[in-house]
Chains A and B, each alone.
Chain A
Amino acid sequence: MTTQTEIGRLAIRAAAKIHERLHTPGRLNCVDRFPGTAWDRLRNSLWRHRKVEVRGWQTAANALLYDLDYQTGLLISQLQRFRNELPSSGRANRIVAPSQIVADLLALETEFESATIDLKEGTVTVQTEPIELESLWLGPFDVRLWWERLNVRRAYEVIAIDPQRPSKDDSVTHPHVQDRLLCEGDAALPIKAALAEGRLFDFFLLVRQTLQTYNSSSPYVRISEWDGIHCKDCGWSMEADGAGSCDRCDENVCSECSTYCRSCDRYVCHGCTGECAECESAFCDACLTLDDPAQRLLCKTCLEKGANTDDDDDQGRFAAAADAVCLGQTAAAA
């Protein structure tokens, strides 16, 4: 594709606007997110630590060290977030030439399923190929960049073409996309750098590769819970809010499959349920005891009953023996 084509001419005009936009000084929109509270808390903890140290309260000083460590970590992460939201400074910025932006825009059409430029709307949109993560089909996504938003706020959105939403959250269309916003994670800094410098080709590539990756440790909705939560015993899909769990193993279990243990007042799954060999009632495994001589699992009540019966039997045998002795003595005496 060349600049002689219709899209080529569009790319030239869009590149001029994008280049001009990138040279506009960024607005500072994150002032209210400066972590002043975290800073004050850390300073207070430092002051308290100094105080207890002077007084020789070693245990209190050690406890405060834990606080200091935690609060320092918190402040660092909040400062990092604040830094990420700062507009790029002109000095650090190395904005590419308009010709490079044109080349980026033209290359998008070969890299993606489709690429469109809308001068009126001020957008560049690419469409990804259908995305499938761990057998979950999410379909293709549009990544739309508004160049007027560059250096002002989040300049792009990720729009599902055929949204495959999880059952529990309509705003989510991808494990890392909510309300059309990509939670960038590891891509945050390179995306920021690419946009600040006008490297649009790199920007779109970074967003696509992030969409093609599943981070199981930090999704809006886990892939395993996309279609609701599944009962571990029967596999039935449940709404996340209404799903129960086994009080012993914490696995998800539906109401049909959970069993009430009347001994400990818990609801448990099939795997954690056993049957008393005597009364044949269901109990959780923890409430069944192995009856040693008979090698049977018994509930507490049946176990106690058995012990009492044994006692009665022992007492009966003892009484009979005693009677025999008495009778023998009587016989002998007679």
Chain B
Amino acid sequence: MHILYINNSGSGFADRIEVADGLTVRTLFEQKMSGKPADYLIRVNRQPASADQVLQEGDRVSITPTKIEGAH
């Protein structure tokens, strides 16, 4: 199945990716990100998601760091 995966860290990008059926939010995070899930806001279809939530075809998953350093 396909989902829209948005990684808002680094340069930020949105990509349609293929994932296995039954994939959970936790597994997707482990596959795509390093670090702790607590350091990110994870939204599925713009709503907060639990780690065990099973992704569905066409879901929109965004991962945004909780701390982003501004500058001067």
Complex partner residue of B14 from A103, A110, A197, CB under 8 angstroms: A197
| Bound complex: CA A191 to CA B62 (Å) | 14
Chain B residue contacts of A186, Cβ below 8 A:
68-71
Tell me which residues from 212 to 241 in chain A have a Cβ below 8 Å from any Cβ of chain B: 212-213, 215, 218-220
Q: Are B71 and A176 in contact (CB under 8 A)?
A: yes
Known contacts A94-B14, A107-B46, A193-B12; A176/B70 CB under 8 A: yes
Q: Are A184 and B46 in contact (CB under 8 A)?
A: no
Q: Are B6 and A199 in contact (CB under 8 A)?
A: yes
Q: Are A194 and B70 in contact (CB under 8 A)?
A: no
Tell me which residues from 187 to 220 in chain A have a Cβ below 8 Å from any Cβ of chain B: 187, 189-194, 197, 199, 201-202, 205-206, 209-213, 215, 218-220
| Bound complex: CA A187 to CA B66 (Å) | 11
Chain A residue contacts of B64, Cβ below 8 A:
202, 205-206, 209
Known contacts A104-B46, A205-B41, A219-B72; A193/B13 CB under 8 A: yes
| Bound complex: CA A206 to CA B40 (Å) | 11
Chain B residue contacts of A213, Cβ below 8 A:
67-70
Q: B10 within 8 Å of A by Cβ?
A: yes
| Bound complex: CA A5 to CA B6 (Å) | 28
Known contacts A199-B14, A215-B71; A209/B6 CB under 8 A: no
By size class, the interface of chain A is 35 or more
Q: Which residue of A lies closest to B8 (CB)?
A: A190
Q: B27 within 8 Å of A by Cβ?
A: no
| Bound complex: CA A206 to CA B64 (Å) | 7
| Bound complex: CA A212 to CA B41 (Å) | 13
| Bound complex: CA A69 to CA B68 (Å) | 29
Chain B residue contacts of A187, Cβ below 8 A:
68, 70
Chain B residue contacts of A209, Cβ below 8 A:
41, 64-68
Chain A residue contacts of B12, Cβ below 8 A:
189-194, 202, 206
Q: A183 within 8 Å of B by Cβ?
A: yes
Q: Which residue of B lies closest to A215 (CB)?
A: B69
Chain A residue contacts of B69, Cβ below 8 A:
185-186, 210, 213, 215, 218
Q: Which residue of A lies closest to B62 (CB)?
A: A202
Chain A residue contacts of B47, Cβ below 8 A:
107, 110
